[in-house]
Amino acid sequence: MAIALVATVTGTAVALAVLAGCAGTVSQVGTTLGGPSASPSARVADSASTNIPTATANSALEAASQSARQICEGSFGTAVTLDWAPATVDEFRAYQYGGPVAKVPLADAFPGVPGDTRGAWCGTKESSDVSHWWAVVAGHEPVTFMTVQGPSEGIAHGLVVGPPQIP
């Protein structure tokens, strides 16, 4: 089988890649609720690469996970939160995908908010086979940037390293 990844930017659908796996589609929109890229920086460092003792790294990971989860669950009312990952506004703004000229859908996200402000990547359930991805900062409107459809979507994963990657 294959996964078809599709980005929708200003109404134009662009096929990005076909990967081994299940059939599915991804669309990118970059709009706020009211109105990713080589690698998002929402990765949580592991203790081996940072020389942080394992107990300290596990505590930091647990705290970051809880904070991200709380941000996500507090931002969508009755929506089901499937996935979450800690991030900052700078990481949202740096998120990119595609080439040779990269798309940066969240470049202007959260205007006026300092870049080191903590937030979360949040995946919510849209239906049994659709997940919706958001950049969220507590006290601000969530910004939607990706919808993923496929047979493995709509399933809770909990703490993840960031949003799905688009080649």
Per residue in 6-25, pLDDT tens? 333 322 222 222 223 333 44
Within a domain: 35? yes
Within a domain: 68? yes
Q: Is 118 exposed, middle or buried (0-12, 13-18, 19+ CB in 10 A)?
A: middle
On the question of pLDDT at 47 being above 60, the answer is no
Within a domain: 90? yes
On the question of pLDDT at 165 being above 60, the answer is yes
* pLDDT given for residue 71 in this prediction: 94
Within a domain: 15? yes
Within a domain: 97? yes
Residue 11's domain comprises: 2-159
When the pLDDT of each residue in the chain is averaged and rounded to a whole number, the result is: 71
Measured from the Cβ of residue 3, the count of other Cβ atoms closer than 10 Å reads: 19
Query: Strands 31-32 and 81-88: what pairing?
Result: unpaired
On the question of pLDDT at 111 being above 50, the answer is yes
Within a domain: 144? yes
Within a domain: 43? yes
* pLDDT given for residue 77 in this prediction: 85
Q: Is 43 left (phi over 0), alpha (psi -120 to 50) or beta?
A: beta
Number of domains the chain contains: 1
